[in-house]
Chains A and B, each alone.
Chain A
Amino acid sequence: MKKILISTILALLVLSGCAGEEKKVLKVFNWGAYIDETVITEFEDLYDVRVIYDNYDSNELMYTKIQSGEYYDILVPTDHMVERLIAEDYLQPLDLSKLSNLGNLYPDLLNRSFDPNNTYSIPYFWGNIGIIYNKNTVDVADLENEGWMVLNNPKYADRIYIYDSARDAFMVAQKALGYSVNSTDEAEIEAAFELLKQINETTRPIYIDETIIDNMITEQKDLAVDFSGDAAYIISQNENLSFFVPEEGTNIWMDSMIIPKNAKEVDLAHKWIDFMLDNEVALKNTIYVGYTSPNISAFETVTGPGGDYEGNIAYQPRMDNPNDEVYKYDDALKEVITDKWTRVKAQ
């Protein structure tokens, strides 16, 4: 009996081994909780392939893994990281003729400065950075009058979260002081550094990662500097919360799908990108994730009457403020900023 059992198992193993060899494998590396996982299964069924789906929680972590030689067919980095990967020759040009759903996207969101003509990248989600606040405990007038400087208001001491990311934290300080986020002027960076240290002392913010979402939904703090996409989801879960983007300006970011040079399934990777651009798939993803979709139909459905993000202020990032900027990739600037951010946190 035992022998039969063992040989059956072995036979099954051999058979499944064969089946596995025939199926193509697509390796996708994306941000954590950045997809409705049912669409992965849909894709697998549609093309009879297997998808290996891994998560990361920062551009830098993704970059470190790629740099160490790990291969993926699809990555979803943010604009400045796309720029860096292009500059360092990690990406291959896309065959746009294979992307039949490209017309589903807002034309305004294509041909962005970090990748003109979308030679290498296709938008996945986009948004900006602002302040999530509790309508019951925060005076909106404070936000309107002080802008980003509200973070330095002793009234809100011990009541603030800031998303722990060097460049975004510096963006807040640079914009509060009226500088450009891409400024390489040493005096300006030093001033931003001093301001961050001052904020650190005055209001003692907590620098936090993705746990910010749960913590804000449960109203553990009153103010939080976070991405608009997180904000949209948080607001949809708790109506006491709202989102404010200071007039002084903010960062507009875009996470885009790209195919690295060392990808093994280039054709299938194009199919994946095209699948993500599909109206139904984009709708599922944006409902699940809460980030702003570049897909016209998905955007209109969720913001339209009865939509999941109807009237949700954070879901519709502004496009008309001249102070809003996109990060440019600059290795030297990045190094200075990350070093200084470590020093702010280690105070």
Chain B
Amino acid sequence: MKGYASLVKPYIIWMSLFIVVPMLLIVLYAFTTSGNELISFRFTLDNFFRFFDPVFIKVLLKSLEVALITTILCIIIGYPIAYIIANASEKSQTLLILLITLPMWINMLVRTYAWISILSDGGLLNSLLEFIGLPPMKLMYTDFAVMLGMVYNFLPFMIISIYTVLAKLDKALIHASHDLGANPLQTFLRIVLPLSLPGVISGITLVFLPAVSTFVIPKFLGGGQYMLIGNLIENQFITVGEWNFGSAISLIMAFIIMASMMLTRKMDRDASENTGNEGGKLW
């Protein structure tokens, strides 16, 4: 066994080279000034102060709002789907999960482009509306389009997290609940729901974190004026060329993400404590 341990070394070198070093560079950029030259820099906190500007704070709040709504919608839509799949026959479960993950085999960029042609004026959806004699709707470049793109892209993460927990749920607990006189609703609310909370919480992590920092979906479906924090960072690096400010925003973002991860982990712990640690664990 000891010999195998050294196999991990290349991985550690790889990780430190391609993950740790770039992150350290971001920290360095965030706290320094004078362009992209690493030779002549001096330390400063200006990049962080610059962010505390009503315009940028508004962008941050908007990103959090969009991510939050996306997460809530994913739970509302994802939970029933996960529940139905978990209660289907073994054979159809495999098929249904395959159907849920199937779109994820295609690049997210391509799928988002597909939504453009569906939602655009004179696109697929509007042609359909026209065909059945309804007035066309303005769908592209609206909150609705961005929301739709977000929920569509991140929903599978939520469904699979919840499904994994529900599928492992001990059916005896449900039978016991029925035997003791609980009706289906009571059984769901008092047995299934609390036990499935760990799945919901990991679903929240998997949806909220990418949703809060995404920039492709708002850019494509919302247009250039739909600016979220991810777009702001991309802008700083690519268009403006302000790597220092961009890095500072990234760090602020990383801080928020870390804080929300700690919060969800705490929720996860509380949830398992409440259910006496017998809940279906995700992993």
Contacts and interface: CB of A to CB of B under 8 A. Distances in A.
Given A219-B122, A220-B121, A220-B140, A345 B227 contact: yes
B116 interface: yes
Contacts of B152: none
Nearest to A166: B239
7 contacts: A60-B238, A60-B241, A64-B238, A207-B224, A335-B242, A342-B55, A342-B232
B227 A346 contact: yes
Contact of B239 (A158, A206, A338, A343): A338
A339 B122 contact: no
A61 interface: yes
A64 B239 CA distance: 9
Interface string A312-347: 000000000000000000000001001100110111
B232 A346 contact: yes
Nearest to B224: A207
A208 B223 contact: yes
Given A207-B225, A343-B55, A346-B55, A64 B122 contact: no
Interface in A151-176: 158, 164, 166
B93 interface: no
A335 B223 CA distance: 22
Contact of B241 (A63, A215, A220): A63
B35 to A, nearest CB: 9
Contact of B122 (A166, A206, A218, A343): A218
Nearest to A63: B241
A215 B120 contact: yes
B240 interface: yes
A218 B126 CA distance: 13
B141 A60 contact: no
A335 B245 CA distance: 12
B177 interface: no
B59 interface: yes
B124 to A, nearest CB: 12
Contact of A342 (B138, B140, B235): B235
B92 interface: no
Given A58-B238, A60-B241, 15 more contacts: A58-B239, A61-B239, A68-B36, A158-B138, A204-B225, A207-B225, A218-B120, A219-B122, A220-B120, A221-B121, A335-B240, A338-B241, A339-B240, A342-B227, A345-B225
A67 interface: yes
Instruction: Return the 6 tightest CB-CB contacts between A and B, nearest first.
Output: A207-B224, A164-B224, A206-B223, A338-B240, A346-B227, A220-B121
A345 B239 contact: no
Q: For chain B, which range describes its interface: under 10, 10 to 19, 20 to 34, or 35 or more residues? A: 20 to 34
B184 to A, nearest CB: 48
Interface of A: 58, 60-61, 63-64, 67-68, 158, 164, 166, 200, 204-209, 211, 215, 218-221, 335, 338-339, 342-343, 345-347
A347 B232 CA distance: 12
A220 B122 contact: yes
A219 B225 CA distance: 20
B55 A64 contact: no
A132 to B, nearest CB: 16
Interface in B211-237: 219-220, 223-225, 227, 232, 235, 237
B111 interface: no
Nearest to B35: A67
A346 B224 contact: no
Tell which of B116, B121, B219, B235 has the most Cβ of chain A within 10 Å: B235
A189 B239 CA distance: 19
A147 to B, nearest CB: 23
B48 interface: no
B224 A206 contact: yes
B240 A342 contact: yes
B241 A345 contact: no
A339 B235 CA distance: 10
Contacts of B141: 206
Contacts of A164: 224
A166 B239 CA distance: 9
B56 interface: yes
B187 to A, nearest CB: 49
A207 B227 CA distance: 11
Nearest to B37: A67
A127 to B, nearest CB: 21
A193 to B, nearest CB: 12
A67 B138 CA distance: 42
Tell which of B36, B55, B220 has the most Cβ of chain A within 10 Å: B55
Contact of A206 (B58, B59, B225): B225
A164 B220 CA distance: 12
Given A207-B225, A346-B227, A64 B58 contact: no
Interface string B110-121: 000000100011
Contacts of B240: 60, 335, 338-339, 342
A346 B223 contact: no
Nearest to A342: B235
A215 B119 CA distance: 12
Contacts of B224: 164, 206-209, 345
A20 to B, nearest CB: 27
Contact of A61 (B120, B121, B219, B238): B238
Nearest to B113: A211
Interface in B135-173: 138, 140-141
Contact of A346 (B58, B140, B220, B241): B58
B223 A207 contact: yes
A62 B13 CA distance: 31
Contacts of A215: 120
Contacts of A200: 225
A138 to B, nearest CB: 16
Contacts of A61: 238-239
